[in-house]
Amino acid sequence: MQLLGDARGATTAEYALLLALVVVILISSLSALGNTLNGKLQGIISSLNTTQ
């Protein structure tokens, strides 16, 4: 019954799940930031084109 007392596998799995959650949050945040920056840059480009 040594296997039931060993918690290293469970700890590794918990860290892997936590890392996966952080990666998902990071990707979604960067995607939203990219969309916002794209909108801002498109606004700047269109305003530059109308002033020429």
Question: Digits of tens for pLDDT over the chain (52 positions)?
Answer: 455 556 667 788 899 999 999 999 999 999 999 999 999 999 999 999 987 6
Of all residues in the chain, what percent are helix, strand and coil, respectively (each to 5)? 90, 0, 10
pLDDT at residue 11, rounded to an integer: 87
The whole-model pTM stands at 0.62
Enumerate residues 6+ apart whose C-beta is below 8 A from 42. none
Distance CA 31, CA 5 (A): 42
pLDDT at residue 9, rounded to an integer: 72
